[in-house]
Structure 1
Amino acid sequence: MGLFSNLINKITGGGAKVTVIAENPKLTGIFKVNVKAIVADGDLKIEKVYLYLRSIEKTRVRNVQFPATSTQSAQQRDVNGEEEVSKTEFVVAPAQTLTGKQEYNWTADVQLPPNALPTYMGKNAWYEWEILAGLDAPGNDPDSGWIKLMLVN
């Protein structure tokens, strides 16, 4: 692999393609999470394989009236809010060097805290859970992106 390709992978996180699958995620008890990485052309030195599990509360207030100002006419629009309520990191595997063009699989046991709230999808409020798997590598970490989980009692 050339120097330029190596630099691009560090900047873009393209050193590996990472996917994550939660097996029967649940609010209470332990569930398994599978992480898969397919490494690009060159070897990839990582500090760890990690999972982030987070909950997000989202709200919408409909038809909020905004008065006119000296630069803007009166408006009516929806106002959206979002807050990350919790975020937990799980270390799935320690530092290692991943060989180029190889596939790696790891499994982790995940358990939510006892006060975790279930997924809720209402008309004006949502409570969502998301998971992300990543490789702690130089530059931009290759990761799966945030994947929504449905966690209910």
Structure 2
Amino acid sequence: MGFFDKLKAVKNMVTGGAAKVDVKIIDFCIGDFFEVEVKVLVDDVDISMENVYLTVEGWHIVNGVRIEIEEDENGYPYERPVEFTREEQTYKSKCEVAQKTDLKANKSYKWIEKILIPEGSMGCFDNGSERHYYRFCAGVDVVGNDPDSGWIIVD
């Protein structure tokens, strides 16, 4: 490995720039299996990975207004509306899509993972003040900062 290759490897370790990771959700559903496609495009330096992983999360978010009672400067009570947001994780799953291997520079890799979000899990909706969605993130487990897809939202 030449000097510039070593510099690239260090940069990739710090920034997570060793590869580009994409996620595609195919026929999302709850209560039955659906497919998630994970693609990894390796940059210009080989990488040694521990695994490729996929994280799936469900989130329920409620936005509302509550009334707080306060006193004015004369001691008289008054109502003050206060906006709030409540977030609750409703589902989480993490699976290994691919096992330890070396990925070659300038090559593309693809895996298909079958996912099951159990029947009875909360579905996706958005009614303005309340929302439920699922999000997916795939990553490549390497030394340093893992390259990942970022969160892909299904709602």
Q: TM-score range by the shorter chain?
A: 0.7 to 0.9
Question: How far, CA to CA, are the matches of 2:101 and 2:80 in structure 1?
Answer: 56
Q: CA RMSD in A?
A: 2.0
Length-normalised TM-score, structure 1: 0.86
Q: Which runs of 4+ in 1 moved over 3 A?
A: 63-69, 74-77
Residue 38 of structure 1 corresponds to: 41
What is the Cα deviation at residue 117 of structure 1?
Answer: 1.0
For structure 2, the 5+ residue unaligned runs are 73-78
Answer whether contact 1:64 1:79 (CA < 8 A) is retained. no
Residue 128 of structure 1 corresponds to: 133
Question: How far, CA to CA, are the matches of 1:41 and 1:26 in structure 2?
Answer: 37
Question: How far, CA to CA, are the matches of 2:116 and 2:40 in structure 1?
Answer: 23
Question: How far, CA to CA, are the matches of 2:48 and 2:134 in structure 1?
Answer: 30
For structure 1, the 5+ residue unaligned runs are none
What is the Cα deviation at residue 67 of structure 1?
Answer: 4.2
Which secondary structure state, in structure 2, belongs to the residue aligned with residue 14 of structure 1?
coil
Q: Percent identity?
A: 27
| Residue-by-residue CA offset, 1:19-57 (whole Å, 9 max, x unaligned) | 000111111211111111110111111111111110011
Length-normalised TM-score, structure 2: 0.85
What is the Cα deviation at residue 2 of structure 1?
Answer: 2.8
Bigger-Rg structure (1/2): 2
What is the Cα deviation at residue 3 of structure 1?
Answer: 2.3
What is the Cα deviation at residue 120 of structure 1?
Answer: 1.6
C-alpha change, 1:60 and 1:45, in structure 2 (3 Å) is same
The answer as to 2:91 corresponding to 1:115 is: no
